[in-house]
Amino acid sequence: MGVPKQGTLSGFFLLVYPVDIPMPCHTRHASRVVGGIVPILFVASCFLLPAPSRAADCILSIRTQDISVVPAAPFLNQSARIYATVQPECANDTEGSVLFYANDALIGNKPISYKKAGRAEEVWVNWRPTQYGETKLRVDTKGEGGEVGDSAFITLFIDRDSDNDGVGDREDTDDDNDGVLDTQDQFPLDPNKSRDTDGDGQDNSVDSDDDNDGLYDFEEGNIGTNPLKYDTDGDGVGDKQDAFPLDPKRSALPPPPVPEPAPEPAPVDPVPTAAVDPVEDAATVAAAADALTQARVLGESFENGYATSGLPDGVNGDANADEDGTSFMDWLRGFGLWLLLALAFLALGIFFFWQDRRKKKEEPKEK
C-alpha cells in the first residue's frame, strides 16, 4: 500500500482504510486502530441520525379552478373576498402559506398546515378593488422552507356601479338611474342632468331658453321655431334677430319706402286794398272830434259814458274809459249806491249800540 508524503493526509482515505503514516514507533499502532474504526462510525451514522426534511417531495397544489371571488363580479371600491382551495400532495405532515396578489401587488398572506394524506383546505382574504378595468388575481403557495410550491391566477374586470343598483356600468343602460338611457344622456353619470343644449350649466328640464337664442322655449313653440336650435332655418341669423326665422332665404325686413316730397303750394295773389285818401281821412277824423265836443256840450245821448249819436264807428271820446268800455264815473256811480247802504247800516248799528249802553248806565240810578 503506497505511503503519501509526510505531512499530507486525505480525510477521504482516512475514513475508508488505514494508512501508514511515518511517526514514532510508540504511536504507529494507535493510528492503525483509529483508521479502521472511522469507516464503521460513518456507516452507522447514516442510520442513527434523524432523517432530513422531505418538503421537496410535498407540493401544495393550487389550480385556476380553485380560485373564486365573491361577488363574482366585484365593483370598484366595494368589498369582496377571494377564496383559494389548496390541494396537498404530501406524504407527511407539512406547513406552508398561501399568498394572494392583485396585479402583482400583495393583498394578504394566510398560513396553512396539513397532516399526512390530509384533505384540501380553503383559505380566503378580504379585498377592496381600487383599480378600474382588467385585474389579474394570482395565488401562490409556499412550503416550509419558503420555496414556491405552486401558482395559479384568474383575470376579471373591475367595473363601476355609479347608481349602486347592483348592475355594473358596462351592462347598465342607465348608469345614473335618472330615467334617461345612457345613449340619449349627455351626462350619463349625473342624475341631475341629462341634456344641456346651450352649455350654460342648466339642464334643459329647468332652462327656460334651451338654445340660448334669446327666445323663451314657449315663445318658440308659438312661432314654430326649434327651441333646441339657435338658428332654426340655418341662415346664420339667430331666431330672435331673424325676421323670418323659418325662411332660410330671408332674415331682414325690407326698408320702409321713402315718402315723396309734398308739392309746393300754389302762389296766392294778394287781395287788393282800396287806396286811402289822406286828405279825406283827415277830414273824417276832424269831423269825429267836433261831434264829440258838441255831444259833451249840447248833451248828446250817452251809452256807457260815450256819445253815440253823430260819431263814426270805432271812435271813443272818453280818455278815462277802461279797455272793456266802462268809464270811471260809471264804476263810481254803481259803487256809491252800495257805499251809502253800508254807511246807513253802520249808523244804525252805532245808534242801537249807544242806546243799549245808556240804558245799562241808567238802571242802577233808578234802583
Chain segment 47-105, per-residue pLDDT in tens? 443 333 334 457 788 999 999 999 999 999 999 999 999 988 777 888 889 999 999 99
Quote the DSSP letter at residue 159: B
Is 62 in the same domain as 152?
Answer: yes
Is 32 in the same domain as 75?
Answer: no
Is 42 in the same domain as 60?
Answer: no
- The ranges of the chain with pLDDT < 70 are 1-57, 273-281, 285, 288-334, 364-367
> Is residue 289 in a domain?
no
Q: Which pLDDT score, from 0 to 100, does residue 82 have?
A: 96
Considering the entire predicted model, what is its pTM?
A: 0.45
> Is residue 199 in a domain?
yes
Is 128 in the same domain as 79?
Answer: yes
Is 65 in the same domain as 39?
Answer: no
Task: Choose one of 110, 135, 158: the last residue of a domain.
Answer: 158
* Distance separating alpha carbons of residues 238 and 227, to the nearest angstrom: 12
* Distance separating alpha carbons of residues 55 and 144, to the nearest angstrom: 7
98 is in which domain, residue-wise? 56-158
Q: Which pLDDT score, from 0 to 100, does residue 33 have?
A: 40
> Is residue 352 in a domain?
no
Which amino acid is present at 280? E
> Is residue 190 in a domain?
no
> Is residue 187 in a domain?
no
Is 63 in the same domain as 154?
Answer: yes
| Domain count for the chain | 4
CATH number of 124's domain: 2.60.40.10
Strands 302-303 and 121-127: unpaired
> Is residue 336 in a domain?
yes
Is 42 in the same domain as 70?
Answer: no
Query: What would the grid cell of residue 291 be?
Result: 261831434
Is 150 in the same domain as 244?
Answer: no
